[in-house]
Amino acid sequence: MWFASPDEVRGRLAAVDYLADDGIATSVFLAGALGKPLLAEGPAGVGKTQLAKAVARATGARLIRLQCYEGLDEARALYEWNYKKQLLRIQADDGAWDDIFSEEFLLERPLLRAIRSEEPTVLLIDETDKADVEVEGLLLEILSDYQITIPELGTITAARRPYVVLTSNATRELSEALKRRCLYLHLGYPTPERERDILLAQIPGLPASIADQLARTVATLRGLELKKSPSIAETVDWAHTLLALGRTELDEALIGATLGVVLKHNSDQVRAAKELGLPSRS
Amino acid sequence: MTAPASLVDRHVGFVHALREAGLPVSPAEGLDAAHALMVIDLAERETLREAYAATLVKRPAHRPGFDLLFDLWFPPVTGPAASTDVPDDAALPELRERLAELLMGDPADPTFREFARAMVGRFGQVQAAPGRQSWFSFPVLRALSPETLVARMLAAMLDERGGLPEKVARRHISRTIEAFTEAVASDVRRRIAEESGVEKIARSTVRPPIDRVDFLRATKEELARLRREVYPLARRLATRLSIRQKRGRRGRLDFRRTVRASLSTGGVPLTTHLRPPRPHRPELVVLCDASDSVSTFSHFTLLLTFALREQFTKVRAFAFVDTVDEITDLFAPGADVLDAIGRLTDEADIVRFGRTDYGHVFERFAERFPDAVGPRTSLLILGDARSNYQVPALGTLKRLAGQARHAYWLNPEPRAQWDTGDSLATAYGSVVPMHECRNVAQLAAFVETLA
């Protein structure tokens, strides 16, 4: 049992500085209570990976992370045989052919490690959409039955179901089969009120008035049609920048001078400067 | 533990309504939702909503429709509106004062919704027919007219007008006004549902999800939301293309690396290393109909073209009405997309008489840009194939399509209207494969088949 209620989720995540809204609290609770993987989808930098880390920290569980990328295969996601060790064993002892496929020569990769873990574990499968379609097939067996089949050793069933969080930036549509097995949480940009609270929780010592102004300004920026909208992480960076500059008042000149912290495309900066009437920098 | 029968009925009815509104809810997901109901506190309405959302809604585009139906199936408990701090007999100026106060605050505040509810109770009832009452949001908004409060609110929020602070404040106010309008509308729907049944109103209020919105009929606001869908789509197309190419060529053996790696295994080459394959990036030529009849569509596809630039080695874009001009320059890297589309009509030489003439366009295109289409290019034609009864120039198009590696035609009209009137869909479709492309879902489906 991971959490007793959505309210408990909220409280315990807040204790590790992660502010959960209704949607987050409820789906995090349900993922634990129903024993289903949680798929968190949304734009970059809204706290999907942070959520998995926060769950691990809040529950004292071990975090195992599988970072997906193009070309990720079984050997790097599940398990691999230690060829070198096997080869040396055969060279040292001619009769060793029978026992080179045993526990001793097995190299655990994140998925197998999470399945075999005896202690409470949070398994984070990060950026699932970056992996090839075949990897999704691999995940299906693990996520629905929590077991892995290794031909030479047999089927390994989870000693203890890990808490699974998958993240995706939605660059590719994940398969229906995978989505069906998961609870779905869409993490979007927060409301200015929530973003202000996030800023205050993440940066102790930030004056509330600045946090409020920052959150509203960023919301205004997101309202423009930009190539890349500022993420929460970038808003936090912006607040750090202002603190480092020792400024306590947010004015147009300051915003214009530090816009590069949140907008990373030249065309976006020009557009923002034009629409918001900031002093031009070009 | 079993659920009370009424809850099961409600659940089944709700899931059914979601399916009817176009959400693909599988039986397994319906069961998941039912399981979720067993472990949460049903008295918490927001928890219930999110529990349903987490188990049934797997696409952000479906969320607005879901929320609408949820509000109808699980309406908030409304006792007498005792919780508002405005007396029942308050005069209008007093109410407007209170509204202004609320609009400057946080729309998530519960008093915000309660105020909206009280106002619907007070102004929203209209005599629809003799003896029949019905509810509307229009009279509520007319009576309170939140838009006319903006100046007063700005004055209260700002020390001085102008510049960025005003922009930020205006944005906040328009967001809260929107929230208020939505709260009023949702309460009106609830009241109607109470009188005439949930199923009836549900069918008439749910708009199609954004990825099914017709390009030619999109409202301005939907168009803005559609634009946000474009970049992910272009990225998806790019990944799609690179995956395919990787399948085709795995790269040659890298002999040196393989031998070096074999040293640790006593000279046995256990792992082979391959040279990374040379990425092959195709070229794209886009011919886009920029006439008024398809302007929302072309607007949208131009954005897609712009987004695609980054993924292809070479993209050349041409716009046409009755003659054709190259517009690649308007879409230089780093250029502002909306600007470029605005400049398009002013600067590009695409209009002679203002009536689309596909035949003339193809002739001119082949004549003016003979080197545009080659064996490495994918040719993409975007338009409704309505040629105002002019000569079609099929031969020229056939030659162009023959020169290209691939050629595709996207038509924003419903298939049923092809070949009606001046449409030459079948004639052109026999030369260049034509796809119906009326919404983001169809565009995404096309993207999946491309390359």
- Cβ of A188 and B60 within 8 Å? yes
User: Is the predicted pLDDT of residue B1 greater than 50, yes or no?
Assistant: no
Which of the four pLDDT bands, split at 50, 70 and 90, describes residue B265?
confident
Model pLDDT, residue A230: 92
Cα–Cα distance for residue pair B404/B366, rounded to 1 Å:
12
Model pLDDT, residue B421: 85
Model pLDDT, residue A218: 92
Report chain A's mean pLDDT, rounded to a whole number. Answer: 88
Cα–Cα distance for residue pair A241/B30, rounded to 1 Å:
47
Angle between helices B63-73 and B163-196 (to 10 degrees): 50
* Percentage above 90 pLDDT, chain B: 9
Ranges of beta strands (E only) in chain A are 38-41, 62-67, 79-81, 106-108, 121-126, 147-150, 154-157, 163-168, 183-186
In this structure, how many other beta carbons lie within 10 angstroms of the beta carbon of residue A81? 15
The residue among B418 and A279 whose pLDDT is bigger is: B418
Model pLDDT, residue B2: 52
What's the gap in Å between the CA of A64 and the closest CA on chain B?
24
Dig out the tokens for B348 from the structure: 């590009």
Cβ distance A192 to A230 under 8 Å?
no
Total number of residues shown for chain B: 451
Model pLDDT, residue B128: 67
User: Is the predicted pLDDT of residue A78 greater than 70, yes or no?
Assistant: yes
How much is the average pLDDT of A205-216?
A: 88
Minimal Cβ distance to B54: which of A185, A217, A255:
A185
User: Is the predicted pLDDT of residue B81 greater than 60, yes or no?
Assistant: no
At residue B406, the 3 state secondary structure works out as strand
Report yes or no: A264 at the B interface, CB cutoff 8 Å.
no
Cα–Cα distance for residue pair A1/B21, rounded to 1 Å:
36
Cα–Cα distance for residue pair B302/B318, rounded to 1 Å:
10
User: Is the predicted pLDDT of residue B35 greater than 70, yes or no?
Assistant: yes
A131-183 residue pLDDT tens: 887 888 889 888 888 888 888 888 888 888 999 999 998 777 788 889 999 99
Cα–Cα distance for residue pair B16/B6, rounded to 1 Å:
15
Model pLDDT, residue B333: 62
**Phi/psi at B285 (nearest 5 deg)?**
-120, 125
Max mean pLDDT range (A220-224, A226-230, B31-35): B31-35
Cβ distance A256 to A278 under 8 Å?
yes
At residue A233, the 3 state secondary structure works out as helix
Which of the four pLDDT bands, split at 50, 70 and 90, describes residue B278?
low
How much is the average pLDDT of A257-267?
A: 87
List Cα–Cα distances, B353 to A22, B291, B357, B360, B424, in angstroms: 58, 11, 10, 12, 20
User: Is the predicted pLDDT of residue B45 greater than 80, yes or no?
Assistant: yes
Model pLDDT, residue A5: 93
**Phi/psi at B149 (nearest 5 deg)?**
-90, -10
Which of the four pLDDT bands, split at 50, 70 and 90, describes residue A33?
very high
At residue A225, the 3 state secondary structure works out as coil
Cβ distance A59 to A11 under 8 Å?
no
Which strand (E) or helix (H) includes residue B134? strand B132-135
User: Is the predicted pLDDT of residue B451 greater than 80, yes or no?
Assistant: no
B102-160 residue pLDDT tens: 888 888 888 888 888 888 888 888 876 666 678 888 888 888 888 888 888 888 888 77
Instruction: Find which of B18, B25, B50, B173 to mutate to test the A interface (most A CBs within 10 Å of its CB).
Output: B50
**Phi/psi at B126 (nearest 5 deg)?**
-130, 140
Model pLDDT, residue A63: 96
Cα–Cα distance for residue pair B258/B273, rounded to 1 Å:
5
Max mean pLDDT range (A20-29, A243-252, B13-22, B248-257): A20-29
Report yes or no: A270 at the B interface, CB cutoff 8 Å.
yes
DSSP state of B413: S
B198-246 residue pLDDT tens: 777 777 777 677 777 777 777 777 777 777 777 667 666 666 655 555 5
User: Is the predicted pLDDT of residue A8 greater than 90, yes or no?
Assistant: yes
**Phi/psi at B318 (nearest 5 deg)?**
-130, 140
**Phi/psi at A164 (nearest 5 deg)?**
-105, 130
Which strand (E) or helix (H) includes residue B319? strand B314-320
What's the gap in Å between the CA of B439 and the closest CA on chain A?
17
Which strand (E) or helix (H) includes residue B244? helix B220-248
Which of the four pLDDT bands, split at 50, 70 and 90, describes residue B250?
low
Model pLDDT, residue B134: 80
Cα–Cα distance for residue pair B100/B156, rounded to 1 Å:
10
Could you please report the per-residue DSSP string of B51-70?
HHHHHH--SGGGHHHHHHHH
DSSP state of B316: E
Q: Which of residues 92-131 of A touch B (CB under 8 A)?
A: none
Cα–Cα distance for residue pair A58/A61, rounded to 1 Å:
8
C-alpha closest to that of A101 among A154, A146, A138: A154
Cα–Cα distance for residue pair B73/B77, rounded to 1 Å:
12
Closest residue in chain A to residue B306, using alpha carbons only: A227
Report chain B's mean pLDDT, rounded to a whole number. Answer: 80
C-alpha closest to that of A27 among A185, A259, A257: A185
**Phi/psi at A183 (nearest 5 deg)?**
-80, 150
Model pLDDT, residue B170: 86
The residue among A40 and B449 whose pLDDT is bigger is: A40
At residue A158, the 3 state secondary structure works out as coil
User: Is the predicted pLDDT of residue B196 greater than 60, yes or no?
Assistant: yes
- Cβ of B227 and A270 within 8 Å? no
Cβ distance A270 to A247 under 8 Å?
no
Model pLDDT, residue A18: 92
How much is the average pLDDT of A234-261?
A: 86
Helix and strand element counts for chain A (H, E): 13, 9
Minimal Cβ distance to A277: which of B164, B235, B336:
B164
Model pLDDT, residue A282: 47
Instruction: Find which of A19, A26, A83, A254 to mutate to test the B interface (most B CBs within 10 Å of its CB).
Output: A26
